[in-house]
Structure 1
Amino acid sequence: MSEPIRPVAAGAFSDDERAAVYRAIFSRRDVRSQFTDRPLGEDVLMRLLTAAHHAPSVGFMQPWNFIIIRDDAVKARVQQAFAAANAEAEAMFDPDRRPLYSSLKLEGILQAPVSLCITCDRSRGGPVVLGRTHAPEMDLYSTVCAVQNLWLAARAEGIGVGWVSIFRPGALTEILHLPGNVVPVAWLCLGYVDELYDQPELAAKGWADRLPLTDLIYHEAWGRSG
């Protein structure tokens, strides 16, 4: 007979533990060009994947899979797919923004020791999933929680993560031979870093600034300030 389920203590973290959590949140960066050539060992990679696998998921459906890519030929195909889409993306911006856009390094696919594609299996859990009955997109949102868990764990390990999102629809599906029920959510570049920007890189390079939090908070209904 299995042991009965019992709640456990849910006290606050110590001051040092709490500070470490917030440090990981506030110093996390999207890394594109600071990767070192230090190898990423299987032990630390499994710690990151374990953190990702412990993300919250609606209906406990755990819709994610993790495709680890170390092969240079696969990375080269993905980098080519990025380059094709990035040229199209640049043309979508106003002419006065294109020079800055073209100066930005938006991926580290060939530089990072490891790439990771996190996917969402949209059929996991069957046709009816608790919590997804009226919001089918909750499986995608759950997968993004796994991405964030991994990202924060990586920051604590001194590992940089870069999320590459500029791909034509279907490009990663073709390269990675994904079945029809599986969609790629995030292509992540992973590697050790010695330095990070002291603010988000797009802010440091003049693309955008962080919005004031006070402008984003409403009370009781949309548009009602405190």
Structure 2
Amino acid sequence: MKAVSPPVFDDAFQDKLKELMAWRRDVRRFRTDPVPGELIARLLEVAALAPSVGNSQPWRFVLVEDATRRQKVIANFEAANAEALADYSGEQARLYASLKLAGLKEAPVHLAVFCDEGTAQGHGLGRRTMPEMLDYSAVMAVYGFWLAARAHGLGVGWVSIFEPEALARDLDVPDDWKLVAYLCVGWPEDEQATPELERAGWEHRRGVESFIIRR
């Protein structure tokens, strides 16, 4: 194959990339304005550029457009959220109850991302001792989608408060597809650089120094 020269990512680009990552927020408050279908298609193309174990490309993107299915998703979230609230008590329960944890009713786009754990693509390379690498590959696709959406001014919210098996049944996907992410996508109601959970006083981000361990 003919060798090609890679692009040069200069200092200005590197600074912008860091800025993009810093502004990647989990959005829960959306305007209801529609998002062009061609933009979502473009973002999914970017997501599919993600690395994957053995080149397996296990991500499966499900655009949830049917109103009845969306209502089942919302009911699933509300039931799971009520159960989660019961795990807390006192001031923490009060704070939890005040949090807006999903934009399911407002977001114009619902995107479920599954991992096809039965895929034959990749011939099992890299998965014998760590089969979870398939899931991690799908997560990489989610992050690529998220950053690309942010670059286009869209907000993304990752909702994880579900009973996943019921959600998979309601979306009528194959049995060997595992739910990795349920994303709300749309134009943010407002723009904030600080995570909402930090602004609400639930948890604060730690500096990178606290995560570095040397051996």
Q: Same fold (TM over 0.5)?
A: yes
Tell me the equivalent position of 2:124. Answer: 129
Matched-pair contact (CA < 8 Å) for 1:72–1:110:
no
- Distance in 2 (CA, whole Å) between partners of 1:116 and 1:126 is 23
User: After TM superposition, which residue ranges in structure 1, 4 or more long, deviate above 3 angstroms?
Assistant: none
Tell me the equivalent position of 1:38. Answer: 33
Which of these residues, 103, 106, 118, is aligned with residue 108 of structure 1? Answer: 103
Structure 1 residues 126 and 193, CA gap change in structure 2 (3 angstroms): closer
Tell me the equivalent position of 2:133. Answer: 138
Structure 1 residues 69 and 169, CA gap change in structure 2 (3 angstroms): closer
- Distance in 2 (CA, whole Å) between partners of 1:104 and 1:216 is 27
Larger radius of gyration: 1
Tell me the equivalent position of 2:16. Answer: 20
Equivalent pairs, count? 215
Structure 1 residues 194 and 108, CA gap change in structure 2 (3 angstroms): closer
- Aligned CA RMSD, in angstroms, stands at 1.6
Structure 1 residues 197 and 127, CA gap change in structure 2 (3 angstroms): closer
Structure 1 residues 212 and 45, CA gap change in structure 2 (3 angstroms): same
Tell me the equivalent position of 1:117. Answer: 112
Which of these residues, 60, 66, 69, is aligned with residue 64 of structure 2? Answer: 69
| Aligned-partner residue type, residue 186 of structure 2 | G
TM-score (norm 1): 0.90
Matched-pair contact (CA < 8 Å) for 2:58–2:115:
yes
Matched-pair contact (CA < 8 Å) for 2:56–2:121:
no
Tell which deviates more after alignment, 165-174 or 138-147: 165-174
Q: How does 1:154-165 map to 2 (within 5 A)?
A: 154-165=149-160
Quote the offset at 1:11 in angstroms: 5.5
- Gapped regions of structure 2 (runs ≥ 5): none
Identity of aligned residues (%): 41
- Gapped regions of structure 1 (runs ≥ 5): 222-226
Quote the offset at 1:127 in angstroms: 9.2
Quote the offset at 1:171 in angstroms: 1.7
Which of these residues, 176, 182, 188, is aligned with residue 177 of structure 2? Answer: 182
| Aligned-partner residue type, residue 40 of structure 1 | V
